[in-house]
Amino acid sequence: MLLDIIFNAFNGLIAGSFYALMAIGLSLILGLNGVINFAHGGFMALAAYLAFTLVPYVGFWGALVIAPLLTGGVGYIVEQLVVKRLYLRDPLYSLLATFGLALIIQDMLRTIWGAQGLPLAIPDFLNQPLSSTYFFVTGYRLFVMVLAVVSTAGLFAALRFTRLGVRIRAGNKDLETISAVGVNILLLRSANFMLGIVFAGLAGVLAAGQLGLTPTMGDQLIMPSFVAIVVGGVGSLLGSLLGGLIIGVASGITTAFYPAGSEVVIYLIMGVMLIARPRGLLGQEGLFE
């Protein structure tokens, strides 16, 4: 039984690191752009499908780099055409607009690539368990976990040490002031939106390597990321990371005792968090209380 719990906790940690990766892009956009991006899952799926098309030409590794960047480009266009126009309005507008976008992207994927599930080939050496005891730790899942940690660390470093990063952080705190000192906040928000979408794309390609592609793949992955943000704290990137890991592990451990409750438990945690500490673990005060 103890081994079973340890297995499931460890397995949850792997799943959680993946939620965290998705949640970070969402959290970036929510922070500076003030947009609850319901189309995040759609962009993930878009990147995954682009990767599927690219793999025969540039291989898995090439696609893992190029597809998220291309999706970031699409994200930029969408921001310019749609999201940008809604910054001054009530957040409900951008929420509805991105929800609509999510549906548009999903139907577009279905039209172009078909409703049929498609496999995304990953390198063989990653596609097997590392040991027969820990059969659920495949090379690929370990790789996803490491990549989640590395890219999150990279993002933190960028926010800390680059000029763009410092501006994004400052904008998170007080957009009007940095605008007053001469920062082009429209450009800053565009760049930030794009960065968030690149993260979504990265998560999407990685998810496809494990689960394959379906037009609705984003829907299945997006909800845990929202929960991760709420639990970790809106506006805090570190909180999103922590939130992802917590719900992953909690869901894993629950499986050992009561498999049917493994999904409910993450919403229970969210519910408890919203009652006891609405700002989340590391969230800024004031956003939700």
Partner 1 sequence: MALKTLQGGGYGRRGLLKTGAALGAAGLAGPVWGADTVPVKIGQIDSTTGNFAVLGQSQIKGAALAAHELNAAGGILGRPVQVLVEDDAGSPATGIDKAGRLLHQENVDFFIGTVSSAVSLSLSQFAEAHGKVFVCSGGHVDKLTGAGCNWATFRVCSTTWILTDGDSKTLYDKFGKKWYFLTTDYAFGHSEQADYTKQVTGYGGTILGGALVPVGTSDFSSYLIQAKAAGPDVLCLLLAGDDQINAMKQITQFGLNKSMAVAGALFELEQIAALPEAARYGVWTFEWYWNQPGVPHVAEFVKRYNTMYPGLYPSQRSWFGYVSVHALALAAKAANSVDSVKVAKAMEGLVLPPEIALQPGKPMFRAEDHQLLLGMFPGEVNQTGTYPHLMTIYDYVPGASIALSPSETGCTITYPS
For the bound state, the minimum distance from the C-beta of residue 104 to partner 1, rounded and expressed in Å, comes to 12
Q: Can you tell me which of 113, 193, 199, 226 binds partner 1, judged by CB under 8 A? A: 113
Q: How far apart are CA 15 and CA 26, in angstroms?
A: 17
Judged by CB under 8 A, does residue 33 bind partner 1?
no
Total residue length of the chain: 289
If we measure between CA atoms, which residue out of 29, 110, 76, 72 comes closest to residue 201? 72
Q: Can you tell me which of 85, 96, 127, 285 binds partner 1, judged by CB under 8 A? A: 127
Judged by CB under 8 A, does residue 128 bind partner 1?
yes
Residue pair 246/16 in contact (Cβ under 8 Å)? The answer is: yes
Judged by CB under 8 A, does residue 151 bind partner 1?
no
Residue pair 233/23 in contact (Cβ under 8 Å)? The answer is: no
Q: Can you tell me which of 34, 73, 129, 278 binds partner 1, judged by CB under 8 A? A: 129
If we measure between CA atoms, which residue out of 24, 5, 75, 7 comes closest to residue 206? 24
For the chain, give me the number of helices (H) and strands (E)? Answer: 10, 0
Residue closer to partner 1 (CB basis): 27 or 138 = 138
Residue closer to partner 1 (CB basis): 216 or 284 = 216
For the bound state, the minimum distance from the C-beta of residue 213 to partner 1, rounded and expressed in Å, comes to 9
For the bound state, the minimum distance from the C-beta of residue 288 to partner 1, rounded and expressed in Å, comes to 29
Q: Can you tell me which of 192, 214, 225, 236 binds partner 1, judged by CB under 8 A? A: 214
Stretch that binds partner 1, among 7-15, 77-85, 143-151, 163-171 (CB under 8 A): 7-15
Question: 3-state SS of 36-78?
Answer: CCCCHHHHHHHHHHHHHHHHHHHHHHHHHHHHHHHHHHHHHHH
Which pair of structure tokens corresponds to residue 115? 């409703």
Residue closer to partner 1 (CB basis): 57 or 161 = 57
For the bound state, the minimum distance from the C-beta of residue 40 to partner 1, rounded and expressed in Å, comes to 16
Q: How far apart are CA 68 and CA 53, in angstroms?
A: 13
Residue closer to partner 1 (CB basis): 209 or 233 = 209
Judged by CB under 8 A, does residue 14 bind partner 1?
yes
Alpha carbon separation from 175 to 216, 234, 236, 270 (Å, rounded): 35, 17, 16, 29
| Residue whose structure tokens are 């993002």 | 155
Stretch that binds partner 1, among 1-9, 33-41, 151-159, 177-185 (CB under 8 A): 1-9
Judged by CB under 8 A, does residue 177 bind partner 1?
no
If we measure between CA atoms, which residue out of 49, 83, 41, 67 comes closest to residue 193? 83
Judged by CB under 8 A, does residue 121 bind partner 1?
yes
Which pair of structure tokens corresponds to residue 265? 């438990």
Judged by CB under 8 A, does residue 86 bind partner 1?
no
Footprint of partner 1 on this chain (CB under 8 A)? Answer: 4, 7-8, 11-12, 14-15, 107, 110-111, 113-119, 121, 127-129, 132, 135-136, 138, 140-141, 207, 210-212, 214, 216-217, 220-221, 251-252, 255-256, 259-260, 262-263
